[in-house]
Amino acid sequence: DSGVTQTPKHLITATGQRVTLRCSPRSGDLSVYWYQQSLDQGLQFLIQYYNGEERAKGNILERFSAQQFPDLHSELNLSSLELGDSALYFCASSVEPLREKLFFGSGTQLSVL
């Protein structure tokens, strides 16, 4: 158990809908990262938050947004969902300054039908 908590574990929804994925980092970690994993693209970095502020942005679509709250939990919002958004979404946290040594949550499996 990495100490990173993600909910829900599974999500099935229809095209055009909006969903929210939630993540709580390990106790004491200020950084939260969101990654998307699909069979063809592998693990892709979406966005990082550090202590409530956006710190780095990767291949995140405009339909997606995220935020980190004062208690350090984070939410990833996916809207106008398309079939191609079906993937495993991971949240991870790290101990600064080792931003590459990530502790991953178990992921949310999103299926868009």
Partner 1 sequence: EDKVVQSPLSLVVHEGDTVTLNCSYEVTNFRSLLWYKQEKKAPTFLFMLTSSGIEKKSGRLSSILDKKELSSILNITATQTGDSAIYLCAVYSGGSNYKLTFGKGTLLTVNP
* Residue choice 8, 43, 82, 113 for contact with partner 1 (CB under 8 A): 43
* Residue choice 56, 77, 84, 113 for contact with partner 1 (CB under 8 A): 56
d(CA 4, CA 17): 26
Q: Cβ 108 to partner 1, closest distance in Å?
A: 10
73 binding partner 1? (CB under 8 A): no
Q: Cβ 46 to partner 1, closest distance in Å?
A: 11
17 binding partner 1? (CB under 8 A): no
d(CA 32, CA 99): 10
* Residue choice 90, 93, 110, 112 for contact with partner 1 (CB under 8 A): 90
Q: Which residues bind partner 1 (CB under 8 A)?
A: 2, 4, 42-45, 48, 55-56, 58, 88, 90, 98-107
